[in-house]
Structures are given as structure tokens and as C-alpha cells.
Amino acid sequence: MAAGAAEAAAAVVEVGSAGQFEELLRLRAKSLLVVHFWAPWAPQCAQMNDVMAELAKEHQQVSFVKLEAEAVPEVSEKYEISSVPTFLFFKNSQKIDRLDGAHAPELTKKVQRHASSGSFSPSGSEHPKEDLSLRLKKLTHAAPCMLFMKGTPQEPRCGFSKQMVEILNKHNIQFSSFDIFSDEEVRQGLKTYSSWPTYPQLYVSGELIGGLDIIKELEASKELDTICPKAPKLEERLKVLTNKASVMLFMKGNKQELKENGELLPILKGEN
């Protein structure tokens, strides 16, 4: 049993310098390389190291690497590692995917998917870029006010995103959001699309307003309320609803259910 554990641990390579990391990228360019940015003080990282060891036994063609994020800051900064655990996936020395957080099932799925896929070509064709641009345009126009953030408004995953949500809620601004951790292609592509390298990013009518610092400045100058759409107050919503037609019926269920089970709809139609 001890020998098996030692074999599994040995299958995960530990990197201690930027030079060693770059060399490993070069040497393992032909295979899938999975890098775990971790910290010894985080218990969830220890759990994910155990998951990596198990995956290494199942996928011997995949290279698994541990890199202590705070010990090799130049690599962490290069790949924008802001929390641990974070996993990066490489092929042909190019980053192809990312996973933030201790999500063992998602890590397993990503390893299986990338390990079974063909070799990754960094050059590719021009069509995926065009498709991504169209997709980003649709996303930025998905709502009058769109917030691209780390996490969700209910569970922000960075302090800047949390502050942004608090400001928007304080001003009763109606917005939709997109979790950039859910899609690495969007996360990286939007930086180029908007020429804005950090998150969160706030868009109004498809136009970038800015990040947290800009929103704070707009709040201080009282311009924020004039730029962003407000969520309608309950009184206003009720007024719109009650005036939607000359006769409005507020009911439990729908017309079909009333037709089958109730008597009110025929009465309103004058059928009784």
C-alpha cells in the first residue's frame, strides 16, 4: 500500500522556480500538462493534491504538476492566479483551459476531455476568432447592463467583484451578470475585445463603462445613476401591470387551467 502511494505521489511533479516551469512546458509540449497552483495553508489545496494523485494514476499519458503560487510569484502573476486552488491546462506549451476552485468532479471532466482530444494547434484558423468576437458581442448586449465578474452576485469570488455588486445594488441598478470562471474562452477573449485587462467589467448597452475604480469615480460624481438603468420600483411595476389592458386578471395558474377546472373565465367571456 505504501509503495502504491509513493508511486502516485511521484507521478505529480513539484516545480519550485519559473525556469523549471518553462523547461517543463517545453519538455512536455507533446502531452497534456495540468498545473495546480496551490498553497500549503489552504486545506482545500491538500484535498485537490490527493485528487491530482488519483488522476495521475488513471491518466499516465498526462503530466501533472504542483506549483506553490506564493513561492513562484512571477509565474502566478503571468497567468493571473488570484486565488488557490487554481488549475491551468497546457498543450503545445499554450494554455488551453483553466479551472478556479476546489471542484474535483469538474477537474476530472476537464482532464478526461482534454486528454482524449486531438493535439491542440495554437495557430488554428481565423473562424474561431470571428465566432468568439460575435459571441462576446452578444454577451455584452445580453442585457441593458451587463456585469462580467468573478463568481455570481450571490457568491462573488473576489473582493473587487463583491464591491462592484454592492455598489450596483446600493444604487438600485438593474443588471445581469456573467461568471468569467465558467468560461475560460470568454475570460481571456473579453480582455482583448474590450482592451481592458482586469475584472470586473461593467457594460451598458454593449459599451464598456469600466472596472471597479471607474464605477467608484462615477458614483462619487453622481454620474452612475444617469448612466446605468434602474430597477423599476414595485409601485411602478404594479402600475404598468394593472394598466396593461382595460381589464386585467391576476390569477393563480393560467387560462388553460381555468378553462378546464374553473368557472371564472367563461363568466368573463360572457359564455354563462
What is the residue extent of each domain of the chain?
2-116, 128-227, 240-268
What pLDDT does 122 receive?
42
212 in Cβ contact with 183 (< 8 Å): no
* CA nearest neighbour of 164 among 183, 145, 181: 145
What pLDDT does 148 receive?
95
% residues pLDDT > 70 (the chain): 81
The mean pLDDT of 152-158, rounded to a whole number, is 89
Helix (H) or strand (E) holding 50: helix 43-58
- Higher pLDDT among residues 34 and 157, named by residue: 34
- Higher pLDDT among residues 240 and 141, named by residue: 141
Q: Helix, strand, or coil here: 248?
A: coil
Has residue 261 got a pLDDT over 90?
no
What pLDDT does 145 receive?
92
Q: What is the pTM of this model?
A: 0.48
The mean pLDDT of 1-28, rounded to a whole number, is 74
Mean pLDDT, the chain, whole residue set: 83
Read off the pLDDT band of 256 (50, 70, 90).
low
Q: What is the CA radius of gyration of the chain?
A: 25
- Higher pLDDT among residues 210 and 233, named by residue: 210
**What are the Cα distances from residue 115, in Å, to 65, 107, 167?**
15, 12, 42
The mean pLDDT of 114-140, rounded to a whole number, is 67
- Digit-coded pLDDT (tens) for 32-49: 999 999 999 988 999 999
Read off the pLDDT band of 106 (50, 70, 90).
confident
Has residue 75 got a pLDDT over 70?
yes
Beta bridge partners of 177: 147
Extended beta strands in 162-265, E state: 176-179, 201-204, 207-210
Read off the pLDDT band of 246 (50, 70, 90).
confident
Read off the pLDDT band of 115 (50, 70, 90).
confident
Has residue 259 got a pLDDT over 80?
no
Does 128-227 carry CATH code 3.40.30.10? yes
* CA nearest neighbour of 181 among 217, 224, 152, 211: 152
Read off the pLDDT band of 1 (50, 70, 90).
very low
The alpha carbon torsion through 167, 83, 44, 34 (nearest 10 deg) reads: 140
d(CA 88, CA 100): 9
For domain 2-116, give the CATH number. Answer: 3.40.30.10
2-116 against 128-227: fold identical: yes
- Higher pLDDT among residues 230 and 166, named by residue: 166
Planar angle of CA 158, 164, 166, nearest 5 degrees:
105
Task: Tell me which DSSP letter residue 231 carries.
Answer: P
d(CA 189, CA 196): 10
The mean pLDDT of 66-77, rounded to a whole number, is 94
Extended beta strands in 101-252, E state: 145-149, 176-179, 201-204, 207-210
What pLDDT does 257 receive?
57
